[in-house]
Structure 1
Amino acid sequence: MFAISLGDDGAELCPLEVWQAEELLAHMDRARELVDAWIPLAASVTDLDSARALLQRYAEKQAADTGRLYGIRLDGVLLVGGVLFRIFDAQSGNCEIGVWLEPAAQGRGLITRAAERLIDWAVHVRGMHRVEWVASAANTRSIAVAQRLGMARDGVMRQNYLHRGVRHDTEIWSVLAPEWRARAGH
């Protein structure tokens, strides 16, 4: 398996595959309380079969070039979070990044660094024009990452997202390829 370094602190970005379902489930059990407050990922990975199903869905998305899923590891071993292309539309040049992290790994910049790698690849390798970030307006940590990535706030969809019986406002953030290239000095 390959891994992309996220810096000199032993953090790496690597693909997650179906055979790693047990590891994903153990990670999600550690992350569940934090992740479940914002997105249905934790609720959809509750046992080995559901972990396999999620990983299989993303394997199929990758094969169809419509999505990808990567894990964030510390010291090449411990899975502590992930990033994904929830939507990847090469024809239109638009994609959406999603992220999550378990509590013990917060505050290290892992999500920001992993998202930067995904955006670099999407823009520079795949020629994507627009990269979106969608978050509950109440998820201030996620919105702070979008800001650190140099994204612009496109708007708010009021009470459009029903999660755990509560309606959330959703903020849409994005960065366009010319903006990303200018940020990186390319």
Structure 2
Amino acid sequence: MDLPPQVIELDDLTLRSFHGEADAAELFGVIEEALEHLRPWVSFAAEHSWASTLEFLARRPVLWASGQAFTYAIVLDGAIVGSCGLFRRTDTPDNGREIGYWLHPAATGRGVATRAVRALCEQAFRLAGVDHVEIVHDAANHASGAVPARLGFTEHLRRPARPLAPADTGEDRIWRLTRPHGSTPAATRAG
């Protein structure tokens, strides 16, 4: 099975797999500081606790090894400022993957999410059989929608969704980026 690298260096930005309990205190603190920023849009903010942070970190290695979820800490200037991941969802065909991301508010507006998502797209298209990547967010979350728009994703569809966070409207906006024509996993690795 193809697996992406556990560390992706992007100049001053690093995406790296989580280091289990070694990351617990820092991740917990970043989420704690960002709760007001995250709470309107992400369901995990409502259940944020030390136990949920440990549980999240404990599941990462198994999900990575199985190919279900490649979750990275977003590290800027040596500190975790958020998280991003490349996921296989049960409602996503095998030839597609979904990308999710969140940032501490101090890291927003600096291109961090855009660079992280671009790197995850490159990794997705290196995986055998993956021909598209999707980003799903609530239709009212314009900040999340700005990232795929900047990267050349197109709006694929909108669908009703059960609201999971306080600001959710009940409508998901799904963006899609398709593997560039003529690009194969081997060609992507070489280029």
- TM-score higher than 0.5 here? yes
* 1:92-132 superposed Cα distances (whole Å, 9 cap, x missing partner): 22111000001101111001101111110110244411211
Verify the 8 A CA contact 2:39 2:165 in the aligned structure 1.
Answer: no
The aligned residue for residue 112 of structure 2 is 110
Contact 1:6 1:110 in 2 (8 A): no
Are the counterparts in 1 of residues 86 and 98 from structure 2 also a CA contact under 8 Å? yes
Distance change in 2, residues 1:126/1:24 (3 Å)? farther
Measure the CA separation in 2 of the matches of 1:166 and 1:142.
13
Aligned to 1:100: 102
**Counterpart residue number, 1:80:** 81
In the alignment, is residue 151 of structure 1 matched against residue 163 of structure 2?
A: no
The 1-side partners of 2:120 and 2:182 are apart by: 12
Which of structures 1 and 2 has the larger relative contact order (alpha carbons within 8 angstroms, sep 6+)?
2
Partner residue, 1:135: 137
Structure 1 CA distance for aligned equivalents of residues 75 and 167 of structure 2: 32
Residue ranges of structure 1 left out of the alignment (5+ in a row): none
Aligned equivalents of 2:71 and 2:93: distance in 1? 20
Count residues with an aligned counterpart: 178
Runs of 4+ in 1 over 6 A off after TM superposition: none
Residue 28 of structure 1, aligned match among 11, 25, 31: 31
Aligned partner of residue 164 in structure 1, secondary structure: coil
Paired with 1:176 and 1:134, the residues of 2 have a C-alpha distance of 15
Say which SS state the counterpart of residue 73 (structure 1) adopts. Answer: strand
TM-score by length of 1: 0.84
Identity of aligned residues (%): 30
How many Å separate the matches in 2 of 1:133 and 1:179?
20
In structure 1, the partner of 2:3 is: none
- 1:81 corresponds to which letter in structure 2? G
